[in-house]
């Protein structure tokens, strides 16, 4: 580890604005997002003595925290809850002086250096940035969906499943998340109806076997939800068979939507190179198209989407950020020495 990074300046700057003085915090490293990628980046950067600031946004632990039972994170042979794992990761990072702030980033300016990061709480300048903003659930985009969010429409069985004790719920989707969450819902619900637009599931074979063997699970194939209906709360979904175009109503009190994910990259549009699907483009060293800006986890990974992969990428991004700062400090010092010599 280079000593140069230890001598970096953490001083606070003060900028005078029209309304008065606004404090701007200057940081060596800001990490946006507190899922597995962000928290692991925080741990590694903390151990490199960068005193990173992790900005949490709306969901501490990210997507991982919505998972009730994680059976594939190494070191936990009995499995571990997603939130419990995130809490462990956070206390590990904090042990090495990573700071965690419950602030959501509202905009960034990556065209200036240091980079500018605005949150609802304030303004930060960062010499390096690691973006770990993950993904959000894709919405159905049908009438009634937005109206009933929180009143029958949900994107998180772990968060809301308990409210559906002895009720009938539908799950929309046919991938891993749909089946995983559908199976979780069978703990509470009387019946779980999985509506999928194709004639076969995309989920892994183990999940498929478990779902088919569960007497509470029923499948409705070749069908799409056209409308979520109700009064104060959800009462039914209108479903269309994609082969026959026949429509029918399925009575239900809960609609759980798992039809894919959208990367949380709106903040970085026109500032970083993105794929056509909106994921941040990185190289093998987690570098983005802007030097000093790194991305890790699901926000740059449409392929694996696993906690262990996100955590690994977060670690790699932090190592890279430390190297960048050390090299920059060395170059700045050399430039300064050159100038002094010339005087
Ligand atoms: C239902 C479900 C079950 C899963 N089960 C498993 C499993 O069993 N095993 C497994 O390995 N993986 C599982 N996954 C996948 C796993 O959860 C993800 O791969 C992992 O969480 C990705 O981590 P991440 O840190 O990249 O992003 P996320 O965990 O999504 O975290 C994103 C973070 O960014 C923050 N953020 C976003 N926008 C902003 C902003 N503007 N300002 C500040 N912060 C912001 C969020 O608040 C959040 O803290 C599951 C996923 C789902 C949805």
Nearest atom, ligand 1, residue 156 CA:
1
Nearest protein Cα to ligand 1, atom 39 = 57
Whether the pLDDT of residue 12 is over 70: the answer is no
Measure 35 CA to ligand 1 centroid, in angstroms: 5
Nearest protein Cα to ligand 1, atom 37 = 133
All structural domains of the chain: 4-136+261-342 (3.50.50.60), 139-257 (3.50.50.60)
**pLDDT tens digits along 301-343:** 998 889 999 999 999 999 999 999 999 999 989 988 888 887 7
Q: For residue 311, is it left (φ>0), alpha (ψ between -120 and 50) or beta?
A: alpha
Nearest atom, ligand 1, residue 304 CA:
19
* Residue 234 banded pLDDT, cuts 50, 70, 90: very high
Nearest protein Cα to ligand 1, atom 8 = 70
Spatial separation of the C-alpha atoms in residues 205 and 31, rounded to whole Å: 36
Residues recognised as catalytic: 156, 159-160
Residue 71: what pLDDT?
83
* Residue 18 banded pLDDT, cuts 50, 70, 90: very low
Spatial separation of the C-alpha atoms in residues 182 and 194, rounded to whole Å: 7
The CA–CA distances, whole Å, from 241 to 122, 159, 244 equal 50, 30, 6
Helices 307-342 + 36-47 axis angle, to 10: 40
Query: Percentage of the chain with pLDDT > 90?
Result: 81
Whether the pLDDT of residue 216 is over 70: the answer is yes
Residue 9: what pLDDT?
38
Binding site membership of 62 for ligand 1 (Cβ less than 6 Å): yes
* Residue with token string 């076997």: 209
């Amino acid at each position: 580890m280079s000593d140069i990074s230890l001598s970096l300046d953490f001083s606070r700057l003060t900028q005078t604005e029209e309304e008065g003085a606004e404090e701007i915090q200057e940081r060596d490293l800001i990490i946006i997002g507190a899922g597995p990628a962000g928290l692991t980046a925080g741990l590694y950067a903390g151990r490199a003595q960068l005193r990173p600031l992790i900005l949490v946004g709306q969901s501490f632990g990210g997507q991982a925290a919505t998972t009730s039972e994680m059976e594939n994170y190494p070191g936990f042979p009995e499995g571990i809850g997603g939130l419990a794992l995130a809490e462990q990761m956070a206390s590990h990072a904090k042990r090495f002086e990573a700071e965690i702030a419950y602030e959501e980033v509202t905009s960034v300016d990556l065209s200036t250096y240091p980079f500018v990061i605005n949150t609802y709480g304030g303004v930060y300048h960062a010499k390096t940035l690691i973006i770990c903003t993950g993904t959000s659930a894709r919405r159905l985009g049908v009438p009634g969906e937005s109206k009933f969010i929180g009143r029958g429409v949900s994107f998180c069985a772990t968060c809301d499943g308990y409210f559906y004790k002895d009720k009938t719920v539908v799950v929309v989707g046919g991938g891993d998340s749909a089946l995983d969450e559908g199976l979780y819902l069978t703990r509470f619900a009387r019946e779980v109806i999985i509506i999928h637009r194709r004639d076969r599931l995309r989920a892994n074979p183990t999940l498929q076997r478990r779902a088919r063997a569960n007497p509470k699970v029923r499948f409705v194939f070749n069908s799409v939800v056209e409308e979520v209906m109700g009064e104060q709360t959800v009462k039914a979904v209108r479903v269309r068979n994609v082969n026959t175009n026949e429509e029918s109503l399925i009575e239900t009190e809960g609609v759980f939507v798992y039809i894919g994910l959208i990367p949380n990259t709106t903040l970085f549009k026109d500032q970083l190179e993105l794929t056509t699907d909106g994921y941040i483009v990185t190289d093998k060293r987690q570098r983005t198209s802007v030097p000093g800006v790194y991305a890790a986890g699901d926000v740059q990974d449409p392929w694996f989407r696993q906690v262990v992969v996100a955590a690994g990428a977060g670690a790699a991004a932090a190592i890279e950020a430390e190297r960048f700062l050390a090299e920059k400090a060395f170059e700045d010092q050399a430039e300064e020495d050159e100038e002094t010599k010339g005087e």
